[in-house]
Structures are given as C-alpha cells and as structure tokens.
Amino acid sequence: TETHKLVVLGSRHPGIHAADMGQMDLVKFKARDGLAIPAWVTMPKGGGKKLPMVVIVHGGPYVRGTDWTWDEDSQFLASRGYAVIQPEFRGSTGYGFQLFSAGRKQWGLAMQDDIADAVKWAVAQGIADPKRVCILGGSYGGYATLMGLIKDPDLYRCGVAFAAVTDIPLMFDSGDMVLSDMGDDYKQYGAPHLIGDVNKDTEQFIATSPLKQAARIKRPLLLAHGTDDHRVPFTHYSKLRSALQANKADVEYIEYSGEGHGWLLPENRYDFWTRVEKFLDKNIGPGAKTE
C-alpha cells in the first residue's frame, strides 16, 4: 500500500511460461442444422496449416467445457505439434439456453454431429489435415469418442477414451446403483429428461450404445479406466473390453488399480499421457502412415 506496486509472491505452475504456450482462441461455427456452436482452438507455438489435430470432448456433458485460460491437456498436445479443438457442443452450459436445451436426449445424435462438424470446420479452415484427426475424451467425452469411431469412422483415424460411459442404461442398472455416486434424484428426475428414459427410449439407446455397437469400432483405440471409479463404474470398461476382444478390435487396454473417475496419482497421469503421446504419434503424428 505504500509503494502502490504489485509483487509476485508465488505461482501455481512456476515451470510454465506463457511465451512457450500455444495460442488459444474462441471461435464459432455453424452445425449442420444451423445452430451456432462455440469451440476452443489451440494451435502449436508458431501456428501452421493442415496439422494433425486432436478433438478433445469434454465430460459432463451438461456443463461448460473449458474457459479461455491455461488448459494442461490442450497445451500438452500443442507442445507435441498437434492442433486441438474443444467444441462446446449442444448441451454445454454457459452459452445460453438455446445451446443447452438443444442437447436434450441427443447423446450419440445431434451432440455427436456437433463434434464431427467441428472437425469439418477445422478442415475447411485449413487448420486440420483430414487424414490425421484423432478424438479424445473422458467420462461423457469417452462415450463421445467411442461413438465417434462408430458413427464417423472416415473422420477419425483413432480414439482415446478414458473413464468412458459405454452404455446409457448401464448407468442406471441396479447392479451399478450401489457403486455409483450419481445422486438418486438425478437418476429419477434429471437423467430421464436430459438423457432419456430407459423404458421409453430403448431403441435409441441401443443405436447409441458403444457396448451394443462395439463390432463397428474398426479404428485404433486406447481405452483406460480406474478400477475404483464410482461415477462410471468399472463394469462399463470390462463389458466393452470383452465385446471388443471378441471382435479382435485394435485396442490398447489400460487399467489403473485404485484410481477413480480420472487419475489422481502423478505416476498414473505420467503413464497415461506418455501412452497417449506414443499412440497419437503412431496414428496421426510423425510416425503415422496415412491412407
């Protein structure tokens, strides 16, 4: 108060320097039905054209995906030379009621199309190489990753799904209700309104189930889950793993013992992202063989 000067006392990430980070910008594109969709685009330092690109799909899904701030996942990928796009697909919050309400009962449908349209926009802008795009996400983002490989196999060369919902009715199965930390009120009232009714929307849930559509997953996939996940119980992973193995799918399976809905232990975070880096390099990075 005497000098009227600000003094730096400390930093949360002292090893992170803004000048070394990729540029992050908010853009908007039109979905196929005309709805304006916000998206965050992070470019590698120095920019570039027709870059390999990773689509990061946020979890929730009825939450805001990210903000204009430092994002460790997108910056890690940008530091490896990848362009990153993070669409705030319909159902996301913080961008108005129209965008949010348009996501009602659209898992695997219009919500999935928004993610695909984000990729097509990035290709049209000259940002992404259409032959080198991978989709990545956890929780709902993991579900969307799996559905992306099922619904748009020509758009994505690979997928990384962790802590993924693999079947919508499985979230409300009596066997999982004991393990799940999802509130009973949400299961009874919120989920049927936002996601769908397990009794009335049976056909839709079958068509949009990665578990029931597992035979359609033909692209390389990295699939990871924590054994103690109470938000998306481990049975989602184990059932899908069995289905994929039965179809001899090209999948790298990772199981983190004792981990919950995401990785808290530094050694597991390091292991996971090291595997992701190698997986991306093989499929869309310098080590990839494009078709």
Read off the pLDDT of residues 157-185 as tens digits, 9 standing for 90 and up.
999 999 999 999 998 874 444 455 667 77
Whether the predicted pLDDT of 193 surpasses 50? yes
Look at residue 161 and give its three-state secondary structure.
Answer: strand
Q: What pLDDT does residue 179 have?
A: 53
Q: What pLDDT does residue 182 have?
A: 66
Largest CA distance in the chain: 72
Domains and CATH numbers, the chain: 19-283 (3.40.50.1820)
- Residue 271, beta-bridge partner list: none
On whether the CB atoms of residues 208 and 107 are closer than 8 A, the answer is: yes
Q: What pLDDT does residue 85 have?
A: 98
Tokens 């996940």, residue?
229
Q: What pLDDT does residue 261 have?
A: 96
Q: Please state the rounded mean pLDDT for residues 73-88.
A: 97
Q: Please state the rounded mean pLDDT for residues 260-279.
A: 97
Tokens 């009825």, residue?
62
Whether the predicted pLDDT of 190 surpasses 50? yes
DSSP string covering 73-141: HHHHHHHTT-EEEEE--TT-SSS-HHHHHTTTT-TTTHHHHHHHHHHHHHHHTT-EEEEEEEEEEETHH
Q: Please state the rounded mean pLDDT for residues 73-98.
A: 97
Q: What pLDDT does residue 188 have?
A: 72
Classify residue 266 by its DSSP letter. H
* Mean pLDDT of all residues belonging to the chain: 93
Name the residue with higher pLDDT: 57 or 183: 57
Active site residues: 139, 229, 261
Which band of pLDDT confidence, cut at 50, 70 and 90, is reported for residue 186?
Answer: confident
Q: What pLDDT does residue 180 have?
A: 59
